[in-house]
Chains A and B, each alone.
Chain A
Amino acid sequence: MFAALARRLAGMLIVMFIVATMVFFLTRLAPGDPAALMLGEQASLADVAELRKTYGLDQPVIVQYALWLKELLRGNLGQSIFLQRPVIVAIAERAEPTFFLALLSILVATAIGVPAGIASAVWRGRASDQAVSGGAMLAASIPSFWLGLIFIQFFAVRLGWFPVAGYGPPGASFAERLYHLMLPASVLGIVNSALITRFTRASMLDVLNEDYVRTARAKGLSEARVILRHGLGNALVPIITVVGLTAALLVGGAIVTETVFGLPGIGNLVVSAVLRRDYPVIQGALIVIAGIYVLINFSIDVMYTLVDPRVKY
């Protein structure tokens, strides 16, 4: 078991290494001199050269790459050009809204997707099944930023149920901050529920046709228990997978949603970094987010062993 997990871990590190390499070299393709960008248009040539030297930008690219990797291994993602602080600090400062937004959204998406998928599988081929499948497809076709704008207009501006934007005033209580996340989390949850719905439906359909479900019925168990204990119990592995995958995808969706709702999260950080060409921040954010994705995938694998006794590493 440990050998296999170690192999997975090694695979993760390779993926991370490739992401890091990709990010580094792609950034070098960008037009413009980072040093010049940092100092602004009025800077003298001497100042620019000076800065190039401090950041090692006068070295050959391959040396810069090696240096960068070395710093990366020590957890140093570099220095933000505009924020005057290390990238890792900038990201850490913005992590809270993103984390809770993702968490709430995944709860919303699961709360919609799993019951809808189960109902759809149980009543396969009937009107409710078609409604659920159509609804899932619709949810996957809605741009999250647009739904956010519409929700803001309706629920916040017209009805006044939720704050229009932001994360509460400085020093706002945790409850108040969560309240600010309700609307964005609903948007992100709805848009991302589709995959969970479809996967739940498909795996429940598979499972409900299994012989052991017939056995469960032959035992005289109630239909609810047959479906939830014996059906869902066996469909958990694919459902956990898709919930995990959705969680990883949410991080991407969060970028756009945060912008719409003016949440001071990592997404907002990335978007402003892109608009200001703050490359170290973009690079850092990409690596952190890829790391989260890889970690989630790894956790899914570990969770399999807990849910399905047949999975042995």
Chain B
Amino acid sequence: MSAMTARSPVRLFLQRLFRRKLVLVAVIILLVIVLLAILAPWISPYSPTGMRVSQRLRPPSLTNWFGTDEFGRDVLTRIIYGGRASLGIGVAVVMCTMLAGTVLGLIAGYFRALDAVIMRLVDAMMSLPDILLAIFLVAVLGASAGNVVLALSIVYTPRVTRVVRSSTLVVRELPFVEAARALGVSTWRIMTMHILLNVASPILVQATFIFAYAVLAEAGLSFLGAGVPPDIPTWGTMIAAGQQYADRAVWLVLFPGLAIVFAALSLQLLGDGLRDMLDPKLRKAL
């Protein structure tokens, strides 16, 4: 009996999440991409940096599934390694935005005086297109993988802040918070706990979407030369480097781009599935 109850919430969660087959497909694709990135050194067919001048710009074949680049490096191998950087940056951005957004949102929702200041800042930041603000920040900070993470975290934090703040505003009016205050319990502690429980699901949804946006934005920044330095293989830098050979070797552009599309699509499908499942208001619209 106890084993049943311990297992069923997770099973129930997954059952409901996978009721839409597309979400299941998305999760499988995502798992494959992540596993490939993690296991890159063990499963890649070639070395990501091994140049073979004799094998330059070879089209996709049985030996090089996705072809080779201008230095004769295997494109598939570089995509697998590129996933490490691209997804790694995405994960880092997600973690930073979750942390910063939650703290700022709690503060904004809890302290009326700071609310106006923080929300004006959020408004101002959201009045600039993602990619433009990111380019500007990277330009100021200097182009490096770390600074790309920092810039994108700054860009996407306002989204999380908004979600957490609105939830905080709702929770602070709940009767039991009043009751806790009357009993002399530290409201701050109670509220924080309760709000965190409350915002867990919208934040989870936000996290998957921000992950997808971050992967797309990193690629865009790297492509423009305002992101990760070209010597580190990411999906974005690979497209940027392949661009000038696009008319002769379209696979240099095509395959890294498809990797981005698959990653972003499966993340967004997952986020969409989570939102439908966790938000009862939206579920009826299905």
- The number of inter-chain residue pairs (CB within 8 angstroms) is 146
Task: Given A18-B121, A275-B226, A277-B139, check contact A289 B132 (CB 8 Å).
Answer: yes
Verify B253–A149 contact, CB threshold 8 A. yes
Q: How large is the interface on B (under 10, 10 to 19, 20 to 34, 35 or more residues)?
A: 35 or more
For A22, the chain B residues whose CB sits under 8 A away are: 121, 124-125
A255's partner among B22, B129, B254 (CB-CB below 8 A) is B129
User: Is B200 close to A, CB under 8 A?
Assistant: no
Q: Are A153 and B132 in contact (CB under 8 A)?
A: no
**Nearest B residue to A277, CB-CB:** B139
The answer on a CB contact under 8 Å between B22 and A252 is no
Contact between A137 and B265, CB atoms less than 8 A apart: yes
B147 to chain A, nearest CB (A): 11
Chain B residues within an 8 Å CB radius of A14 = 120
Q: Which of A189-226 contact B (CB under 8 A)?
A: 202, 205-206
Interface residue? B180 (CB, 8 A): no
CB distance from B146 to the nearest CB of A (A): 15
Highest count of chain B CB atoms <10 Å: which of A130, A137, A206, A293: A137
- Whether A143 contacts B220 in the complex (CB less than 8 A), given A137-B265, A137-B269, A275-B226, comes out as yes
Query: What separation, in Å, do the CA atoms of A138 and B22 have in the docked complex?
Result: 12
A251 in the interface, Cβ–Cβ < 8 Å? yes
- Looking at chain A's contact residues, the main secondary structure is helix
B239 touches A19 (CB 8 A): no
Asked if B277 CB lies within 8 Å of chain A CBs, one says no
Chain A min CB distance to B231 (Å): 17
B193 to chain A, nearest CB (A): 33
Residues of A within 8 A of B129 (CB): 248-249, 251-253, 255, 289, 293
Per-residue CB contact flags for chain B residues 223-267 toward chain A (1 = under 8 Å, else 0) read: 111100000000010010001001100100110010011001100
Give the A-binding residues of B (Cβ under 8 A). 22, 120-121, 123-125, 127-133, 135-142, 212, 216, 219-220, 223-226, 236, 239, 243, 246-247, 250, 253-254, 257, 260-261, 264-265, 268-269, 272, 285-286
A residues contacting B by CB (< 8 A) are: 14-15, 18-19, 22-23, 26-27, 29-31, 125, 130, 134, 137-138, 140-147, 149-150, 152-153, 157, 202, 205-206, 248-249, 251-253, 255-256, 259, 270-271, 274-275, 277, 279, 282, 285-286, 289-290, 293-294, 297
